[in-house]
Structure 1
Amino acid sequence: MGFWDRLFGRKAPAAEPAAPTAPAPTANEARSVDPREYLLKQVEALLRADTTVEKVERHPESYGLNITRAGRQGSVFLDNLYADTRELPPEQRLHVIQRFLGSLWQEGPDTLPWEEVRERLLPVLRASTFGMAQLAQLGPDREMVSRRTLPFLLELLVVDLPESAMFVQRRHLQEWGASEDEAFAAAHANLANLSDGVELYDREPSPIWSVDTGDTYETSRLLHPGFLASFASRVQGRPIAILPERATLLIAGDANPDTVARLCESGDREYEAASRRLTPALYTVDDTGRVVPYLRPGDDALAQQMRLAHVRLALSEYTAQKESLDKVHQARDADVFVANLSAVFRKKDGRPITYCVWTHDVDPLLPRADMVSMNEAPMAYFLVPWAEVERLAPGCLTLVPELWPPRYRTTWPAPEVLERLRAAQVDLEDYEEP
């Protein structure tokens, strides 16, 4: 059937439920268990009521189920389903669950020929750690096809099917006989054929536009070359955009500080509330029209607010990455320390500055940060800008190419290198961005 070990995207509700009905957990059960457990029980009940399903068991390591259907075994992970249903009323919640289960049995990328698939491919934006927890339990051929489009974000490929959007894995390209470049080219060609769905969201304090298509590919429009740049004539100043969750894309200009502040506040608020969040940060275009992170010049409160949004994204993604890597290392009995990314506010202007800690006798996987705290001994440390660590101790940092966001394997500097780093130390209040 080709339905196992998939990661599902969100689609508009189908006209009819696609899975059998079954008694949901009782009201007493709903009150006595936490929401995640309640969803798990509800999905279990629906699957057990399906006469084609032979066996259902809890996944021993993840939030999901192992299922045997028609003699075939596989796993279904429920984190995304929980995120999609946790705030829905009961009837709508049941419908979404039924639709999700129905999509498990539909024909997928495994069985479709390349000639048909290439007409259904579309690119989507996701957070850099999307799917990382599940992929840790799957083989290399199950890795999703991706590109590192923006800091802390990924561009992935999906096959747009009636009930769900299924992510393209490496094995699919091999089965289709297609290259990664061919697949992305087809996806972008299909994206160009989608309507832009742009509507005027508000006129004050200056024009704000919204991509309002309802097809769940709203933020994908940002991947279309020249799309954001094309708003130069419709906004005041350089085009800027927020995409706090997958179905929200608002675009304005940066000439009016009140508009910038409104977008920043909206991005932060919607990101915090979203079940399928992307980024709280703002984005713009460079002189070539390429989408890049937006950082407002200066050190005023609004500029610091812009920086904080990007720092929040970095903290969130590095934390999620560390959690996943720690689980992998524990399962493999590997003694690897994955360092945290942390942040502080500079006293003189409230600027957020990120840092990581590199301790003597520990060779951590370091996240990229503004500054590195070199801890020679307990209560003995000094701060060095990351750029200076790269310049003065290049042999001590090795980029791990398969990790995104980036991390570096480390080797503690030799005494002479450490002295050069000590000479390059700066106080937090004196740090300046390179």
Structure 2
Amino acid sequence: MDSRQMRQKLESRLAGEDRLISYDREKDQLRIESQSTGKGISIAIPGVIAKWHVEKDKAIDEIVYYVQEGLRAMENTVDLKEQVKKIFPVIRSASFPAEAEEGVPFLTEDHTAETKIYYAIDMGKTYRLIDKRIMEKEGWSANRIKEMALFNVRSLATPLKEDQVAGNSFYFLNTNDGYDASRILNKGFLNEMEKQITGTMVLAVPHQDVLIIADIRNDRGYDVIAQMAMSFFASGRVPITALSFLYEDGELEPIFILGKNK
């Protein structure tokens, strides 16, 4: 599958009466815009091809789904007053764009050296990141939005699956609701987990749909969490960071683990 073939496949799947599709040869990007709103989404074709080599047509189906839902979200009007219970924080990498393609800044907050907090309105199958334009239109303050988002994330269920490896315990939170990594902001939940930890508590948010909590009791455990985080990071739809975090006294500290064993 080369760039031209992938571009043709995506263009055929994403074409529509209200769609304007353009191709940037220099960046090897496909741009799909809604003519009614003037807003759109850009797709980096090399990234889709790399995923296609692993997942085949599933990779194309996935990117088409998210582009379709993203464009629908852009077309919908947003009224924060009616969306109070649907505002959530989302974790992104520190290098994630700070503004929308139109140059409007997103509402963000610093989290760690590796991660940043964005805020989103849940729209069912997708969500829309909150930017300054939405805030100004509705007259909502940043503090109010952040308070609501943190309140809502604390209300989300925290079901865990446990796995034992080489004398260490690993807990996985993976509901696929789009906010699994966001649970790392639920201090009450983390503090309760800390009480159960007998070794060192280490967390990982390699992509948006998983939170890993590890009870590290020996050196082998550090190797395992490093390998897990890298594997999840490489396969995630929205990667965040392959690094892990020590959790102590309510604080997160990024750590780099040099794996020795496989």
| TM norm structure 2 | 0.83
Residue of structure 2 in register with 1:224 after alignment: 186
The partner residue of 2:44 within 73, 79, 87 is: 79
Residue of structure 1 in register with 2:35 after alignment: 69
Q: 1:47 to 1:232 in 2, by over 3 A?
A: closer
Unmatched 5+ stretches in structure 2 = none
1:117-196 superposed matches below 5 A = 117-131=83-97, 135=100, 138-139=102-103, 142-196=104-158
1:43 aligns with 2:7: no
Give a deviation string over 1:316-361, Cα, whole Å, max 9, x none.
Answer: xxxxxxxxxxxxxxxxxxxxxxxxxxxxxxxxxxxxxxxxxxxxxx
Give a deviation string over 1:64-91, Cα, whole Å, max 9, x none.
Answer: 3153534x5333211398389634332x
Residue of structure 1 in register with 2:198 after alignment: 236
CA contact (8 A) 1:208 1:235 kept: no
CA contact (8 A) 1:67 1:73 kept: yes
CA contact (8 A) 1:199 1:210 kept: yes
* Separation in 2, partners of 1:103, 1:65: 15
The DSSP-based 3-state class of the residue aligned with 2:17 is: coil
Aligned pair count?
256
Residue of structure 2 in register with 1:334 after alignment: none
RMSD of the alignment, in Å?
Answer: 3.0
Residue of structure 2 in register with 1:292 after alignment: 253
Residue of structure 2 in register with 1:106 after alignment: 72
CA contact (8 A) 2:92 2:116 kept: yes
* Separation in 1, partners of 2:202, 2:32: 44
* Separation in 2, partners of 1:237, 1:248: 22
Q: 1:120 to 1:109 in 2, by over 3 A?
A: farther
Offset at residue 185 of structure 1 (A): 0.9
Offset at residue 182 of structure 1 (A): 0.7
The DSSP-based 3-state class of the residue aligned with 1:226 is: helix
Matched AA of 1:198: L
1:249-268 superposed matches below 5 A = 249-268=211-230
* Separation in 1, partners of 2:141, 2:234: 37
Q: 1:145 to 1:109 in 2, by over 3 A?
A: farther
* Separation in 2, partners of 1:215, 1:175: 28
1:57 aligns with 2:22: yes
Offset at residue 103 of structure 1 (A): 1.6
* Separation in 2, partners of 1:153, 1:235: 24
The DSSP-based 3-state class of the residue aligned with 1:119 is: helix
The DSSP-based 3-state class of the residue aligned with 1:283 is: strand
94-103 or 247-256: bigger deviation: 94-103
* Separation in 2, partners of 1:120, 1:74: 23
The DSSP-based 3-state class of the residue aligned with 2:111 is: strand
Unmatched 5+ stretches in structure 1 = 1-30, 295-304, 310-434
1:197 aligns with 2:197: no
* Separation in 1, partners of 2:30, 2:236: 22
The DSSP-based 3-state class of the residue aligned with 2:41 is: strand
Matched AA of 1:88: E
Offset at residue 109 of structure 1 (A): 8.6
Offset at residue 239 of structure 1 (A): 1.6
Matched AA of 1:99: Y
Instruction: Say which structure, 1 or 2, has more relative contact order (CA 8 Å, 6+ apart).
Output: 2
* Separation in 2, partners of 1:251, 1:258: 16
* Separation in 1, partners of 2:171, 2:41: 38
* Separation in 2, partners of 1:69, 1:109: 10
* Separation in 2, partners of 1:189, 1:123: 10
* Separation in 1, partners of 2:74, 2:193: 37
* Separation in 2, partners of 1:109, 1:174: 18
Residue of structure 2 in register with 1:215 after alignment: 177
Matched AA of 2:123: L
Matched AA of 1:271: F
Residue of structure 2 in register with 1:346 after alignment: none
CA contact (8 A) 1:156 1:167 kept: yes
Task: Give 4+ residue runs of structure 1 displaced > 4 Å after superposition.
Answer: 59-62, 107-110, 272-275
The DSSP-based 3-state class of the residue aligned with 1:266 is: helix
CA contact (8 A) 2:22 2:32 kept: yes
101-110 or 122-131: bigger deviation: 101-110
Residue of structure 2 in register with 1:361 after alignment: none
Matched AA of 2:213: I
* Separation in 2, partners of 1:153, 1:252: 19
Q: 1:47 to 1:238 in 2, by over 3 A?
A: closer
